[in-house]
Structure 1
Amino acid sequence: MQPLPETDAIPIFEKTQHELISLLKSLSTDEWEYSTSSSTWNVKDVIAHLLDGDLRRLSLHRDNHKMQDPSDPINSYESLVDYLNDLNNTWVRASKRLSPRLLIELTEFTTPKVIQHLKGLDPKDPALFSVGWAGEAESENWFDIAREYTEKWHHQQQVREATGRPLLVGEQWLSPLLNTLIRGVPPVYDKYADKNADEQIEIYITGVIDNSWILTTENNRWQLYESNGDEAKTTIELDDDTAWRVFTKNITEQEALKRIKIAGNQKLGQLISKTVSYMK
């Protein structure tokens, strides 16, 4: 079976950021205060969070700045998530002092610098940040950049939904997005399913990308490959709108299962609804 291909996300990352700046400039004063699907954050909070990501990327990665050590040791995935959530919330609270206009200006300032930095990285070199939700302790730069694209797209989508703006759901957006987010599926099966089971699951995502993958057990873990056309014992089919909403937890597991078609082992197929392709 063929391993999953790498995703060159820099071109679509750049387009996403330009779309973000145009979106922000179109928002009314009231719209900055609209609630979003992102926990307790409103539109302004989400944009402040995206800016924080840019500033951290430039400071820690480009400039090799060393942050203060966390007060509690990070010795598990859960403790890492707690640490990141605290960083995020601390910044968002402080950013309530900033005006929407300043947030736009700062985003315009950081965007070209982040893009320039990412373009200068060797895609195959070890990334500063591993993609933990994909089960990796160390990742290559191309994957970290693709993950960063999904983060930018996901939060911009929250703002677009909150303000009634058109969503970024064409093939150019969803192909790199879903080819990245799908990598969060194997860790879910590692956690909830038998790693030694003689199973093959084919996952179909239909719509503008129309793609499929094989999920199977190998070396005491679940692995994801490109589909090879072989018949699988269990098949999972979901459309692209359902897929991105499942992987970013835009809908509940119960809502997801109403929209997902499973043939074969129902219990095994339903586990895909637990996928979380971001740090949570």
Structure 2
Amino acid sequence: MSPTRWGPPIDVLPLLAGEEQALIEVLGGLGAEQWAAPTACAGWTVHDLAAHILGDKLGLLSRDRDGYRTTEPRPGEAFGAFLDRINAEWVLACRRLSPEVLFAMLVDSTSQVPQLWGRLDLDDLGEPVTWAGPEPAPSWLAAAREYTEYWVHQQQLRAAVGAPPLDTPTWRAPVIDTFMRALPFTLREVSARVGRQVSYTVTGSSGGRWTAVSSPDGWLLDRATPTSRAPLASVATDADTFWRLCTRNVRIDDVRDRVSLKGDEAVGETVLRMVSIVVS
């Protein structure tokens, strides 16, 4: 896999099967009340969230493996609104399924997604990862995006049923690394002379430091330590706060005490509003 303007590639393929198995193990031990428990996804129960995860996987297999595409935005419908609509339609339909049937379908789909990505050349360009920019993205970034969505939903599901989070560095560090690939796109409206830098540090064993550098072709991302002694802006926070900010699971104003911001305040605020999910 080759470096891009989004930085060095991320290889999540070795993690996909393990993440799926961890989800199956949690769901396999749930009782009826736990399946009906509310989650952080407004209006969705554990059953609904599990159905959404299943829909994501079956939709990916249908589109990217089988070339079967039957849904598209309505005229004038924004992409985020389109996704919200079809996700809601799928979850509503799946409420007709018992937890046992839903669980069996999740088990049956296990390993098919890792097999799909394993057959692809991860350097090949495909559809955009919209929160990282509108241009075609390499398949390794698309695979990493899928992993982050499964991981985030599993955290929400685990929290709803009182199961321990899947937050060791093995599982969480690739999520942090992937979400950070939204940084160049986040800075797209920030004008700076060529060579100016913006750094984002995530503390703890799952974190690290990422540097966006202004270039004639826009902002570029690197995992290297900033070479500038005075970056345009520097932001730092912990891993748990970071992924929740990027997925809008928390509000910035509620976690100010967990965030450090130095340099240009407006640029720092732009960085803190980075979103690494599709929103309507």
TM over 0.5: yes
Of 57, 64, 67, which aligns to 2:67? 64
Asked if the contact 1:133–1:184 (Cα under 8 Å) also holds between the matched residues in 2, the reply is: yes
The offset of 1:73, in angstroms, is 4.8
CA distance in 2, matches of 1:253, 1:172: 27
Query: SS of 1:14's equivalent?
Result: helix
Of 168, 185, 188, which aligns to 2:186? 188
Of 9, 12, 19, which aligns to 1:9? 12
Query: SS of 2:128's equivalent?
Result: coil
Asked if the contact 1:2–1:225 (Cα under 8 Å) also holds between the matched residues in 2, the reply is: no
The offset of 1:119, in angstroms, is 1.1
Residue 272 of structure 1: aligned partner: 271
Asked if the contact 1:81–1:279 (Cα under 8 Å) also holds between the matched residues in 2, the reply is: yes
The offset of 1:196, in angstroms, is 5.4
CA distance in 2, matches of 1:52, 1:2: 30
The offset of 1:236, in angstroms, is 1.2
CA distance in 2, matches of 1:70, 1:263: 41
CA distance in 1, matches of 2:69, 2:165: 37
1:18-97 alignment to 2 at 5 Å? 18-73=21-76, 79-97=78-96
The offset of 1:69, in angstroms, is 4.3
Relative to 1, partners in 2 of residues 1:52 and 1:209: Cα closer, same or farther, differing over 3 Å?
Answer: same
What is the percentage of aligned positions where both structures have the same residue?
Answer: 30
Query: SS of 1:30's equivalent?
Result: helix
Residue 149 of structure 1: aligned partner: 147
Relative to 1, partners in 2 of residues 1:275 and 1:69: Cα closer, same or farther, differing over 3 Å?
Answer: closer
CA distance in 2, matches of 1:179, 1:62: 26
The offset of 1:2, in angstroms, is 9.4
1:70-149 alignment to 2 at 5 Å? 70-73=73-76, 79-127=78-126, 129-149=127-147
What letter matches 1:251 in structure 2?
V
Residue 238 of structure 1: aligned partner: 237
1:206-225 alignment to 2 at 5 Å? 206-219=203-216, 221-225=218-222
What letter matches 1:21 in structure 2?
I
Query: SS of 1:270's equivalent?
Result: helix
**Gap regions ≥5 residues in structure 1:** none
The offset of 1:36, in angstroms, is 1.3
What letter matches 1:135 in structure 2?
G
**Across the two proteins, how many residue pairs are aligned to each other?**
274
Relative to 1, partners in 2 of residues 1:61 and 1:210: Cα closer, same or farther, differing over 3 Å?
Answer: closer
Deviation digits for residues 7-46 of structure 1 (CA, Å, limit 9, x no counterpart): 1101111111000000101222111121111122221111
The offset of 1:213, in angstroms, is 1.2
CA distance in 2, matches of 1:10, 1:277: 20
CA distance in 2, matches of 1:250, 1:66: 31
The offset of 1:187, in angstroms, is 2.1
The offset of 1:221, in angstroms, is 2.9
What letter matches 1:225 in structure 2?
D
Asked if the contact 1:35–1:41 (Cα under 8 Å) also holds between the matched residues in 2, the reply is: yes
CA distance in 2, matches of 1:261, 1:152: 29
TM-score by length of structure 2 reads: 0.91
Asked if the contact 2:201–2:210 (Cα under 8 Å) also holds between the matched residues in 1, the reply is: yes
Residue 178 of structure 1: aligned partner: 176
TM-score by length of structure 1 reads: 0.91
